[in-house]
Amino acid sequence: MLDIKRIRQEPETVKALLAKKHVNVNLDTVQELDQKRRQVTLQIEQLKAKRNQASEAVSQRKKRGEDAQDLILEMRQVGDEIKALEASLEPIDAELQEFLLTVPNTPLPQVPEGESADDNVEIHKFGVPRTFSFPVQAHWDIGERLGILDFERARKISGARFTVLADGGARLSRALINFMLDHARARGYHEMATPYLVNATSMFGTGQFPKFVDDVFHVVPHDYYLIPTAEVPLTNLFRDEIISTPLPLKFTAYTASFRAEAGAAGRDTRGLIRQHQFDKVELVRIEEPEKSEQALQEMLRDAESVLEDLGLPYHTVMLCGGDMGFGQALTYDIEVWLPSYGKYVEISSVSTMTDFQARRASIRYRPKGSKKTELAHTLNGSALAVGRTIAAILENYQMANGHVQIPEVLRPYMGGMEQL
């Protein structure tokens, strides 16, 4: 959530930054509601001061043995006015809060201009896409032929965009999860195991609600929501708290993730690229504001180095304003090379949310030597999406004999197995 003071003091700057995201937000509505709220608040404060003066006058009259009934009646009338004004303030506050929840985060100044993914800026590239001496197969064909991916039985059990992983596929998934968690732990992240079901307050805290309420799975009548990413439970660990331990706080968690909206129809509906349920290892960092941009670069390297250890070609792009998400202030997408696509495909997003989530979730800390509390900055990223990593391994490590080599770094996690 944006700071109302910032909108009040720098309306044109905020409008210009939001325009960079190519979103249509009428900030005039926010300013009008804010002005109305401030006017009513001022009236309440003036009436309270008047009531205090009358109360003091009543006390003085009584000390002198004088009648104070007129002042007492006046105080009651003032009290009734205060109650009426406070009651009128509630719908104004509610409307202002509801509107602010729909306003996206502003991008940082270095975010490039642009409307779509075509305008993203490549900043880093690793590895050279492999040249094959045989016809390249897509990962869904490889997986089905090897008997490690079963889409038809998953469709029978659940529906479209689900997958059953069997034998070597299940082992590869487990190996990747353990490898990624160990990789994160070695870089100072605390491993957590969190619930997959959260309440609506948690979804509001990280910005999924109200904008993306139709994109998640709602469990009724219990009123829980299946998490779209471990970012939600990890960030909300400190909701409504003043953090007492030194920052940064660094967390990693493996969870299943659930997305009701899995993308438009097309090529990505096949295989493991867009699923309603998928596994992911997430990184979340809670940081001091002045260190958050450095923290973002560190998190980016944490995620990129997973692909480097796996020997998978990738490139990293900085998202332009028009391709950024609702709560993101700056985002890097890491895209892995998929031979069957003949292009790079997103496998991770690493973002700083600045104080956007912290304001919604009331995550505060007390800077060293200060008595006042401040909003923390939150950052998150995938390291990595497991299903897409499996797809990348199957395609990049496929062999002419139909087998698939297992990256060396994963072999200890698979009992020394070298091939699928």
- The reply to whether 382 sits in an annotated binding site is yes
- The reply to whether 86 sits in an annotated binding site is no
Tally the C-alpha atoms within 13 A of residue 8's C-alpha that lie toward its C-beta: 11
267 is an active site residue: no
- The reply to whether 12 sits in an annotated binding site is no
Output b/e per residue, 379-392; b: 16+ Cβ within 10 A: bbbbbbbbbbbbbb
- The reply to whether 152 sits in an annotated binding site is no
Task: Please give the structure tokens belonging to residue 47.
Answer: 């009436």
Distance CA 273, CA 264 (A): 12
Distance CA 387, CA 410 (A): 15
Catalytically annotated residue among 171, 259, 360, 364: 259
* Residue of 92, 76, 79 whose CA lies nearest to 40: 92
- The reply to whether 349 sits in an annotated binding site is yes
Distance CA 297, CA 312 (A): 20
Distance CA 245, CA 234 (A): 16
Catalytically annotated residue among 202, 292, 349, 351: 349
- The reply to whether 261 sits in an annotated binding site is yes
Task: Please give the structure tokens belonging to residue 379.
Answer: 């950052």
Paired residues of 218 in beta bridges: 225
130 is an active site residue: no
274 is an active site residue: yes
Catalytically annotated residue among 51, 171, 359, 388: 388
Dihedral-angle region of residue 177 (phi above 0 means left; psi in -120 to 50 means alpha; beta otherwise): alpha
Amino acid at 56: E
DSSP of 123-159, one letter per residue?
Answer: EEEES-PPPPSS----HHHHHHHHTSEEHHHHHHHT-
259 is an active site residue: yes
- The reply to whether 56 sits in an annotated binding site is no
Measured in degrees and rounded to the nearest 5, phi and psi for residue 189 equal: -85, 140
61 is an active site residue: no
- The reply to whether 262 sits in an annotated binding site is no
- The reply to whether 230 sits in an annotated binding site is yes
Amino acid at 404: V
Catalytically annotated residue among 55, 346, 362, 374: 346
C-beta atoms surrounding 15 within 10 Å: 15
Known binding-site positions for L-serine: 229-231, 282, 382
The set of catalytic residues is: 259, 274, 346, 349, 388
Binding residues: 229-231, 259-261, 282, 346-349, 382
As annotated, the binding site for ATP includes 259-261, 346-349
